[in-house]
A and B are shown apart, each in its own frame.
Chain A
Amino acid sequence: MATQILMPALSPTMEEGTLAKWLKKEGDTVSSGDILAEIETDKATMEFEAVDEGILGKIVVPEGTAGVKVNTPIAVLLEEGEDASAADNLSTDAAPAAEEAPAAEAGADLPDEGPGAQPKVPAAVDVPETPEVPEGTTYKSQTVREALRDAMAEEMRRDGDVFLMGEEVAEYQGAYKISQGLLDEFGGQRVIDTPITEHGFAGLAVGAAFAGLKPIVEFMTFNFALQAIDHIINSAAKTLYMSGGQMGSPIVFRGPNGAAARVAAQHSHDFATTYAQVPGLKVVQPYSAADAKGLLKAAIRDPNPVIFLENEILYGRSFDVPELDDFVLPIGKARIARRGTDVTIVSFGIGMTYSMQAAEELEKEGISAEVIDLRSLRPLDTETVIRSVQKTNRCITVEEGFPVCSIGNHISAVLMQEAFDYLDAPVINCTGKDVPMPYAANLEKLALVTTAEVIAAVKAVTYR
């Protein structure tokens, strides 16, 4: 019986890819393990092996096709002796099971990130508040990944003391392709592959920062930075104070933070609050590509150690980025992503995805939500939050991290102390669940915050 060969998911967060090249042609015999095709993901070019044996009856998706969704049929495999016409009888529409497939599941309620696809969030949202971008500025659509790379490249061009160090940042072009092209432009002296020794290279980078260089340390994920946390906190964050102001560490620690998709407990930890607790550190967690660019440039220029938390799922998402020669945003300033009057939703990072979707749904039900993207967790722009709550009198917070001592808990405490008389309902914190991240697709979904939970929380505080 003819079987469909589906576009494979070659990484936990892959939703689509480019079918770069077919290595078998129609009519070729295929054995299990043969390389059928080369598939380009946003991270790398991968070889796609055959699982079953048979004859390649029909190539459905020709080579060179970009934006092929995971689980789309790309070819048909025939059994020995089967006629090529069997291939034609088989429907080559998207497999009905595709929606249920794990890779699609994880991103099911996320906007498409394909080049042509429009984000579901309103375009206006992605334009930062006017004071940050001069009037008449044009915008271009860019992924968060490209914005981060451009930020590093621009700062490296501007200042010879800036260098990038981390695992696979140079020759491999970045484990998540954030540093693509940087080795070519800046050379091995400034784009440095390290051994897999986070503790050691983080400490080494701090030493280089003490000596006046400006390292950008990429952690493949912040989960691995636990190995280096002594240097981040004890060496980088505290030395300015301990030295009576003599010795600072102008350093950026950056990389993906929090859950990606189906990588389980040791690769999904969200460290936002962990670092946000530490005096001496600045902590930034952008959502949009524009913020990623403007804030990373600011982080690199900042004379203090900055923890720059990225999100793997957001890397491929496109946003409008202002076309300015030198777009730098202030660290410590929240952004009002959407104006509203009935409730304030405070979020940051990927939490913004759920918040913006919820706001849109709520609008249909006549509830006007103001959404604040904190962007920076330390310093924290509580002023913007308080001002909004003084207007809406209700607040919920949204984040993917754990519930105990969350950013939401802190915001709640601040509001209770500084805006108690303005609150018409207790603040509700929507967070990830208080469990290590499970692997199973359904359990992972339950462990993370959802748009439905955000909507329910808003309805609770607005007594609807």
Chain B
Amino acid sequence: MATSKPAGKPNSATKEELQTYYKEMLLIRRFEEKAGQLYGMGQIGGFCHLYIGQEAVVVGLESAAKEGDQRVTTYRDHGHMLACGMDPKGVMAELTGREGGYSRGKGGSMHMFSKEKEFYGGHGIVGANVPIGAGLAFANKYRGNDNVAFTYFGDGAANQGQVYETFNMASLWKLPVIFVIENNQYAMGTSLARASSTPALYTRGEAFGIPGEAVDGMDVLAVRDASQKATAHCRAGDGPYILEMNTYRYRGHSMSDPAKYRTREEVQKMREERDPIDHVRELLVSSDYATEDDLKAIDKEIKSVVNDAAKFAQESPEPAEAELWTDVYR
């Protein structure tokens, strides 16, 4: 069984690929910064978990997805929605609880869905999306297609019992599911070392015969390579695959996190030395794929997309009172 540590140097990428990754990651970064601002202004309520720092994970994984593939995640979900092509306006308007939101204001930050983009949430219960992801994969197998279900969860969820029930069934029935463990080192305020008896999460499938791999989740090209390998494995009918993405979130667990469990220096060091967006920016410049002016133009374009989304989210009306009673039953 191929359970392995990080592979060697990732393959190179074309100019177009790098530009795409850069834009997609930057969109998530700027979107989340704006969401943070709106939260501070009281326009977004409740829980709001930002994805800043982890952008390379979802962008790299999505690069190997094809039409019909599904994705499902827990509540740190804004990045996943943007990466699979959902409209930033609809996502932001859901954060502000407005009619124009993906769930018409009834789901909020943690509960958003898009049947069209095969995005199955946005789940508020840690670990619950894992069997659901295997169920999406079950449907692929039942229908005899070669689609894959990307099932994301965190290092905290990796200790949930239902994850292992799911590993067992996914392997037993050879379901085409990629279990992406986004190890951002902290389950809310509890570090991996304090919560996990065995910190190498990519080995957690060994008992079930599921191959696993640790990946540098701050390097979008490493993530892309891993995603290609894992999707090929699943599409060939060889069953599930585990990818542990070693990543880092810059912001608190949610907006109300005092962040006493780690030092400012630790966060600063990651930002300065390992930032996934800076990494691609440097690659673009050093490969002569983009000039500073090109990058500025991209920044401007992304900023305008995000500003439009925020404007839409602020101007969209609150849901009509009659919406209280709709969508309970079909």
A-to-B contact residues, CB < 8 Å: 163, 189, 194-195, 197, 199-213, 230-231, 234-235, 239-248, 279-280, 282, 303-304
Contacts and interface: CB of A to CB of B under 8 A. Distances in A.
A234 to B, nearest CB: 5
A245 B135 contact: no
Interface in B210-249: none
Contacts of B130: 203
A248 B133 contact: no
B136 A207 contact: yes
Contact of A234 (B102, B124, B136, B149): B124
Interface stretch (B15-23, B107-115, B193-201, B307-315): B107-115
B159 interface: no
A189 B131 CA distance: 19
A150 to B, nearest CB: 24
A213 B114 contact: no
Contacts of B120: 207, 210-211, 247
Interface string B266-288: 00000000000000000000000
B169 interface: yes
A155 B101 CA distance: 37
Nearest to B319: A244
B2 to A, nearest CB: 24
B135 A194 contact: no
Interface residues on B, range: 35 or more
Interface string B131-148: 111111111101000000
A243 B326 CA distance: 11
A241 B328 CA distance: 5
Interface in B131-190: 131-140, 142, 149, 161-162, 165-166, 168-169, 172
Contacts of B204: none
Contacts of B78: none
Given A210-B120, A242-B111, A205 B104 contact: no
A244 B107 contact: yes
Counting chain B CB atoms within 10 Å of each CB, the highest count among A195, A203, A240, A248 belongs to A203
A207 B138 contact: yes
A257 B128 CA distance: 25
Given A203-B128, A239-B121, A246 B134 contact: no
Interface of B: 70, 72, 101-107, 111-115, 120-125, 128, 130-140, 142, 149, 161-162, 165-166, 168-169, 172, 326-330
A246 B103 contact: yes
Contacts of B161: 199
A304 B328 CA distance: 9
Given A234-B124, A247-B115, A163 B142 contact: yes
A243 B122 CA distance: 9
A176 B241 CA distance: 36
A197 B130 CA distance: 14
Counting chain B CB atoms within 10 Å of each CB, the highest count among A206, A210, A244 belongs to A244
Contact of A230 (B128, B135, B168, B169): B128
A298 to B, nearest CB: 14
Contacts of A213: 138-139, 142
Contact of B136 (A163, A208, A245): A208
Contacts of A248: 330
Given A195-B168, A204-B166, A246-B103, A241 B327 contact: yes
B113 A242 contact: yes
Counting chain A CB atoms within 10 Å of each CB, the highest count among B107, B124, B131, B326 belongs to B131
Interface of B is mostly: mixed
B102 A212 contact: no
A195 B165 contact: yes
A356 B166 CA distance: 45
Given A199-B131, A247-B113, A240 B330 contact: yes
Nearest to A194: B169
A280 B166 contact: no
A27 B206 CA distance: 58
Given A208-B142, A211-B136, A242-B106, 13 more contacts: A195-B169, A204-B132, A204-B135, A207-B72, A210-B136, A211-B70, A230-B128, A239-B111, A240-B328, A242-B103, A243-B327, A244-B107, A280-B328
A200 B162 contact: yes
A234 B128 contact: yes
6 contacts: A203-B130, A207-B136, A239-B121, A240-B330, A242-B113, A280-B329
A204 B326 CA distance: 26
A356 B142 CA distance: 45
Contacts of B102: 243-244, 246
B134 A204 contact: yes
B167 to A, nearest CB: 9
A107 B166 CA distance: 40
B239 to A, nearest CB: 14
Contacts of B104: 244-245
B115 A204 contact: no
A203 B329 contact: no
A401 B137 CA distance: 38
Contact of B131 (A201, A245, A246): A201
A206 B132 contact: yes
A239 B328 CA distance: 9
A235 B123 contact: yes
B329 A240 contact: yes
B121 A243 contact: yes
Contacts of A211: 70, 120, 135-136, 138-140
Contacts of B114: 246
A153 to B, nearest CB: 19
A211 B121 CA distance: 12
Given A189-B142, A231-B128, A244-B102, A206 B329 contact: no
A301 to B, nearest CB: 11
Counting chain A CB atoms within 10 Å of each CB, the highest count among B103, B104, B114, B326 belongs to B103
Contacts of A282: 329
Contacts of B330: 240, 245, 248, 303-304
Given A203-B130, A230-B128, A231-B128, A242 B107 contact: yes
Nearest to B112: A243
A191 B169 CA distance: 15
Contact of B165 (A199, A207, A230): A199
A207 B142 CA distance: 13
A210 B136 CA distance: 7
Contacts of B166: 200, 203-204
B173 to A, nearest CB: 8
B136 A197 contact: no
A4 to B, nearest CB: 48
A381 to B, nearest CB: 16
